[in-house]
Amino acid sequence: MNEQRIEISKNVLIDCLGLQAGESLVVVTDDSRKELAEALYEGGKRLGAESMLVVMQERSRSGEEPPASVAVAMMNASVVVCVTRYSLTHTAARKQAAAAGARVATMPGITEDMFTHGAITADYAEVKRLTERVTGLLTEASTVRIEKGGYQFTFSIENREGVPSTGLYLNPGESGNLPSGEAYIAPLEGTASGQLLADGSVAGLGALEQPLLLTVEHGRLVAAEGGLGTELLNMLGDEQGRMLGEFGIGTNDKARITGVVLEDEKVYGTIHVAFGSNNTFGGTIAAGVHIDIVVKQPDVYLDDRLIMRAGELVEGK
């Protein structure tokens, strides 16, 4: 077994999740990510944790629930790490595990390169500081306006709570992505309108070689023109999956655009939106799908106040 991977796994389990000897660790994976999951499982064993490796069939899309037996194992663990192709972040299983007191890290789409380079190497104390500051800005605001390439996109976040994904999940019930670094929020359903020019990546489809123009009316995606637009609409389906579910801001200065949205959406200088489920972080949409789309270097206004100019935070740093 790759000893470097095991050492990195031990560091992640200690530094980001606070795993201690005698605690229970459940590593959830599928066939596509089994080698990385095995390193985390072995790392947990060497740290003296009661470790379990759970291999399930690969899900068909991000946001799809794992089998009930996997969800039960997650609920009964001290620490859960999900190393899967598609994201379990916005699932009831993840939410229930956190509610039961588990510390949960999700790593959807992580690659060998991402496991050793880029966002995972960040100073997570600094990521935490910036993430919590930006989260506060989102919580305090009522409206969002995004401008890029001559297009404008607006929606309400009134009375919604921002969510920090800091990369440090040390207390019972804390959860988020690893690698991490984002502040996100559930927009008020039905309030989004306008057009957004995306040029980063799309979860499950990879980096955008040509821009993707999204048109939203009454909170619903009605058109996706350009790069990967048809594929995106097919993934989202025709029902609740097309509703705007998330707005997020990247806060990790070591993150890179790789084509894997787990890292892409954490890049400092980017924002992302997602369509589909948001009922696990303050919204009302339960669509069984959640697809993130990354936008590079936009202008962002909260309550008509500029907080980001061409990707650079002018408030929050």
Q: What one-character-per-residue DSSP string does 200-247 give?
A: SEETTTEE-SS-EEEEEETTEEEEEEETTHHHHHHHH-SSGGGBEEEE
- Tokens linked to 140: 């305090």
Side-chain-side CA neighbours of residue 306 (13 Å)? 9
- 147-to-150, 253, 304 alpha-carbon distances in Å: 7, 22, 12
- DSSP assignment letter at 308: E
Q: Are 158 and 188 in contact (CB under 8 A)?
A: yes
Residue 4 CA to chain centroid, in angstroms?
A: 26
- Per-residue pLDDT of the chain in tens (317 residues, 90 and over written 9): 789 999 999 999 999 999 999 999 999 999 999 999 999 999 999 999 999 999 999 999 889 999 999 999 999 999 999 999 999 998 999 999 999 999 999 999 999 999 989 999 899 999 999 999 999 999 999 999 999 999 999 999 999 999 999 999 999 999 999 999 999 999 999 999 999 999 999 999 999 999 999 999 999 999 999 979 999 999 999 999 999 999 999 999 999 999 999 999 999 999 999 999 999 999 999 999 999 999 999 999 999 999 999 999 997 55
d(CA 244, CA 171): 30
Question: What amino acid occupies position 177?
Answer: N
Nearest of 265, 37, 281 to residue 175 by alpha carbon:
281
Q: Are 287 and 243 in contact (CB under 8 A)?
A: yes
pTM score above 0.75: yes
Q: In degrees to the nearest 10, what's the CA dihedral of 72, 78, 81, 86?
A: 30
Q: Are 82 and 28 in contact (CB under 8 A)?
A: yes
- 127-to-102, 114, 302 alpha-carbon distances in Å: 22, 17, 21
Helix (H, G, I), strand (E, B) or coil at 315: coil
Q: Which CATH code for domain 3-116?
A: 3.40.1830.10
d(CA 115, CA 179): 8
Q: Which residue has the tokens 């009522």?
A: 142
d(CA 106, CA 81): 6
Domain ranges of the chain: 3-116, 122-313
Sign of the CA dihedral with 126 first, then 132, 138, and 140 last: negative
Nearest of 181, 168, 175 to residue 118 by alpha carbon:
181
Helix (H, G, I), strand (E, B) or coil at 307: strand
Residue 277 CA to chain centroid, in angstroms?
A: 12
pLDDT at 1: 74
What phi and psi, each to the nearest 5 degrees, are found at residue 132? -70, -35
